[in-house]
């Protein structure tokens, strides 16, 4: 299958999700999303870490697996678009076959009896798509599993999570109406400054950081392999945490 040239972009969700980012961080985040979309749904770890650097707020938007990093929301949207494209292609084939059969008067009656109507096909495909999306969205991690995933995230290794949670409880006790949601916890942790080392380590032999545009292109076979690998990872994550 050819490379998908576009993806759905929900401006309201994007503005909400990047509210606490600087303009520089927003630019990095957008380019990473584009790189994931154009490279089969996965960004290799070397390129990702070099581009993100110490921007923990950006790192928190991606899931790390053995093969690299990916944004889960974008992966779901890519999968939805692929399913919709396949359904549109299938419906077009059905309509073409029906039109061809109607040209043949001898087969007109048999065509009407054996083939479902176009509306019926579209309704079935629409219901199937809605069920698949609801199934993915309805599965969520428990609070305990989610907190464990935060503690295991390399982006927050410098933070004492339990101490910060206690601080949140103390602050919220003075803020009636505010709740300790997952988004609140992430935003709080992203504001915790990483301790500054008094002896900065400078590696003179470190190669220059690659730019996204310098990432090597991949073959269609490798792209499809990446897509299938990420889909399997998302499915395993969904089965394990109920998302």
Higher-pLDDT residue of 24, 201: 24
pLDDT band at 90 (very low <50, low <70, confident <90, very high): confident
Average pLDDT rounded to a whole number, residues 36-50: 90
Q: How far is CA 197 from the centre of its chain?
A: 33
Confidence class for position 210, pLDDT limits 50, 70, 90: low
pLDDT interval class at 62 (50, 70, 90)? very high
Residues paired with residue 43 on neighbouring β-strands, in sequence order: 69
Residue 28 to residue 15: CA distance in whole angstroms: 15
* pLDDT above 90 as % of the chain: 30
Q: Choose between 10 and 236: higher pLDDT.
A: 10
Domain boundaries, the chain: 11-75+207-241, 94-138, 143-190
For the cut 50, the answer to whether the pLDDT of residue 138 exceeds it is no
CA pair distance 192, 188, nearest whole angstrom: 7
Among residues 161, 204, 212, 216, which one has the least CA distance to residue 49? Answer: 212
pLDDT surpassing 80 at residue 56: yes
Dist CA 193 CA 227 (whole Å): 35
Q: How far is C-alpha 150 from the geometric centre of its chain's CA atoms? A: 17
Q: Which has more confidence, 148 or 140?
A: 148
Contacts made by residues 113-122, CB under 8 angstroms, sequence distance 24+: 118/91, 118/94, 121/90, 121/91, 121/94, 122/91
Question: What's the pLDDT at 207?
Answer: 65
Q: Is the pTM of this model over 0.85?
A: no
> 3-class DSSP state for residue 181?
coil
Confidence tier at 28 by pLDDT (50, 70, 90): very high
DSSP 210: P
Give the least confident one: 88-97, 172-181, 201-210, 225-234.
Answer: 201-210
Per-residue pLDDT for 99 more than 80?
no
* Cα distance between residue 48 and residue 53, in whole Å: 8
**Distance between CA atoms of residues 68 and 87, nearest Å:** 30
Type and span of the H or E element at 31: helix 23-38
- Lowest average pLDDT, out of 26-40, 81-95, 126-140, goes to 126-140
- Band of residue 81 on the pLDDT scale cut at 50, 70, 90: confident
Supply the pLDDT for residue 231. Answer: 82
- Does the pLDDT at position 154 exceed 80? yes
Average pLDDT, the chain: 79
């Amino acid at each position: 299958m050819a490379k998908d040239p576009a993806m759905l972009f929900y401006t309201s969700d994007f503005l909400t999700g990047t509210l606490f980012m600087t303009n520089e961080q927003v630019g990095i985040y957008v380019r990473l999303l584009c790189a994931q979309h154009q490279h089969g749904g996965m960004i290799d770890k070397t390129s990702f870490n070099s581009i993100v650097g110490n921007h923990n707020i950006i790192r928190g938007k991606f899931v790390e697996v053995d093969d690299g990093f990916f944004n889960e929301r974008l992966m779901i949207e890519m999968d939805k678009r692929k399913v919709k494209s396949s359904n549109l292609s299938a419906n077009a084939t059905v309509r073409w076959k029906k039109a061809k059969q109607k040209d043949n008067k001898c087969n007109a009656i048999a065509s009407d009896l054996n083939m479902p109507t176009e509306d019926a096909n579209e309704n079935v495909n629409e219901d199937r798509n809605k069920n698949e999306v609801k199934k993915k969205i309805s599965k969520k991690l428990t609070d305990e599993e989610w907190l464990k995933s935060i503690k295991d995230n390399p982006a927050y290794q410098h933070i004492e999570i339990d101490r910060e949670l206690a601080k949140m409880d103390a602050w919220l006790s003075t803020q009636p109406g505010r709740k300790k949601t997952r988004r609140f916890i992430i935003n709080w942790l992203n504001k915790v400054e990483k301790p500054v080392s008094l002896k900065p380590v400078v590696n003179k032999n470190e190669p220059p950081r690659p730019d996204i545009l310098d990432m090597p292109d991949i073959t269609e076979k490798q792209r499809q392999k990446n897509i299938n690998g990420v889909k399997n990872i998302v499915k395993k994550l969904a089965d394990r945490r109920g998302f």
